[in-house]
Amino acid sequence: MALAKRHGLPAVALTDTGNLHGVVEFVQAAQSAGIKPIIGTELRVGSHPLLLYASNSTGYLNLCRLLSQKAEKQKEESSVVEGQRALSLLPSCFIVLPFLKGSLP
């Protein structure tokens, strides 16, 4: 956060892979530095990475719901989430599809 503050960045994002375990410490550090925290996670949809960032508290709750559903599904099958289901839970999130070719499964 010190580096972000020194460069005058108004916001910084944290993108945990498949969870939100670092959120509490990240948000506290960002707020202490006067920087807006942006919370995100990376999931896999099929073989594609999907970066999801909460745009508000509803988006954060939707990310939590999606990750909880992923954890339940992981017990049954795999760690991959269904594309259409994932997108339906995320009306309050920014979605980034890096290097995506083709369509979501």
Q: Looking at the domain covering 2-96, what would its CATH class be?
A: alpha beta
- The pLDDT, as a whole number, for residue 69 is 80
In three-state secondary structure terms, 63 is helix
In the chain, what are the domain boundaries?
2-96
**φ, ψ of residue 74 in degrees (nearest 5):** -60, -35
Residue pLDDT tens, the chain, 105 long: 999 999 999 999 999 888 899 999 999 999 999 999 999 998 877 777 888 899 899 889 888 888 888 777 765 544 455 556 666 666 777 777 666 555 555
Greatest pairwise CA separation for the chain in angstroms? 46
Residue of 18, 43, 22 lying closest to 105 (CA atoms): 43
What pTM did the predictor assign?
0.74
- The pLDDT, as a whole number, for residue 99 is 62
| Rounded Cα distance, 100 and 58, in Å | 26
| Rounded Cα distance, 29 and 17, in Å | 20
- The pLDDT, as a whole number, for residue 98 is 67
Element (H, E) at 81: none
- The pLDDT, as a whole number, for residue 79 is 44
The alpha helices in the chain, defined as continuous H runs, are 2-6, 23-32, 57-76, 83-88
